[in-house]
Structure 1
Amino acid sequence: MSNDTIKLQAQARTKFGKGAARQIRRENKIPAVMYGHGADPLHITLVGHDAMMALKNPNALLTIVLDGDEQLALAKDVQRDPIKPVIEHIDLVIVRKGEKVVIDVPVHLEGEAAPETLVNLDNSSLQVEVEATNIPESVTVSVEGLEAGTLILAGAVELPAGAMLITDPEALVVNVTQQISAEALEAELAEAEAEAGIEHEPTDEEAAEAEGEAAEGAEGDAAAEGDAEKSDDA
């Protein structure tokens, strides 16, 4: 956990609407709104590059500096462009020192499970309640040497001091299974496709092989007929 905050310089925003937002983004800034603790929503702009770097950690504790005043905040919602690496808008929620917040913390796996196993991460994050000024970047789960059939539930994950689990303790986080061979996987897929009535066009190799077998069969039939005719002539 870290008590460090990231300072972001902000400016008050007085123009609104899509046109104003586009203009703000053209200036390499990001429109944002900050609210919470009964305060009126405060519309601001943030320096684009600084905000993007800060929000590489979605749970980063931010110090928003506006007209010399500082306010602690967390990013509540970050709207990103679906194509370009651009943040379009940020919702910030005001927090206080000592206040508890509920956030999603990523699960980080370390170690290697037993040979010929697969490690499935069923829940990539856990929801926990922590102090706003003491948010963990992640929680670590060791899979070192775990055998197939091992299940790790949320309640068994060790949390940082002061953190309380909100996720259902019975929620599956890690499932270690037996690794399946390529042949077995292919057989399962073929069986599933057959049950679903899915038919595939033969590949060029399969078609050539089938033609070869058909030709061999035809030659065999012709030879058999020839032998039969010779036998009749005799």
Structure 2
Amino acid sequence: MAQEYEQINVGKRTHKGKAKVRALRRDGKIPGVYYYHGEENVDLEIDKKNLYHALSTGQHVFEVTMNGETQYVMIKAVQYHPVTDEVMHVDLMRVRRSEKMTFTIPIVLQGEAIGVEEGGVLSQILTAIDINCLPTNVPESINVDISDLELNSTISIVDI
């Protein structure tokens, strides 16, 4: 069964400059850039509601249509406003579904540790790890069962 990717609505952005970008944001669009090694960068405008929905899905690979061609991209960087926390700019990097890439995947702890029930404290140092895989096989999260974890026990990355 083919994997379905969330669609991000983009359009080519021809205008540059602070005033033009502010007007773009007032119209419910977010400026962005699309790039891939060996290709020319493309300035984009992205629908704000559509982008926020895509960010909330937890997916790592998205589908965009540019110049009548469907491309697959990952969100490489997101810039947020320091006060309002609104998205100010997005970098989309093209991915080839046949090439391995590095993705940052969250670590989710599952279960109640025996050591915590005995009065210990659970300390999670690492909340995400980088994995190298095909864009078609990216897990949403890495689940770690901690129910057998006793007092003064640890789990290292090698154990995962």
Q: For 1:73 and 1:130, how far apart are their aligned partners in 2?
A: 15
Q: For 1:85 and 1:53, how far apart are their aligned partners in 2?
A: 16
1:138 is matched with which residue? 141
Q: For 2:94 and 2:58, how far apart are their aligned partners in 1?
A: 15
Q: Compare CA radii of gyration and give the structure with the larger one.
A: 1
- Unaligned runs of 5+ residues in structure 2 are none
Could you give the per-residue CA deviations for residues 205-227 of structure 1, whole angstroms, max 9, x where no partner exists?
xxxxxxxxxxxxxxxxxxxxxxx
1:40 is matched with which residue? 40
Alignment of 1:151-230 (within 5 A): 151-157=154-160
Q: CA deviation at 1:57?
A: 4.8
Could you give the per-residue CA deviations for residues 97-118 of structure 1, whole angstroms, max 9, x where no partner exists?
2111111110000000111122
In structure 2, relative to structure 1, the CA distance for the partners of 1:153 and 1:57 (3 Å cut) is farther
Q: For 1:60 and 1:103, how far apart are their aligned partners in 2?
A: 8
Could you give the per-residue CA deviations for residues 30-77 of structure 1, whole angstroms, max 9, x where no partner exists?
111000131100111111011011112565211111232211000000
Q: For 2:106 and 2:3, how far apart are their aligned partners in 1?
A: 18
1:79 aligns with 2:79: yes
CA contact (8 A) 1:11 1:67 kept: no
SS class of match (2:25): helix
Letter in 2 for 1:142: D
1:23 is matched with which residue? 23
SS class of match (1:133): helix
1:112 is matched with which residue? 112
4+ runs of 1 displaced by more than 4 Å? Answer: none
SS class of match (1:11): strand
1:127 is matched with which residue? 130
Could you give the per-residue CA deviations for residues 9-35 of structure 1, whole angstroms, max 9, x where no partner exists?
211100112222111110111111000
1:176 is matched with which residue? none
TM-score after normalising by structure 1: 0.63
Letter in 1 for 2:127: S
Letter in 2 for 1:156: D
Q: CA deviation at 1:79?
A: 0.5
Aligned-pair identity in percent equals 28
Number of aligned pairs? 156
SS class of match (1:49): helix
Letter in 1 for 2:38: G
Structure that is richer in helix per residue? 1
Q: For 1:97 and 1:49, how far apart are their aligned partners in 2?
A: 26
TM-score after normalising by structure 2: 0.91
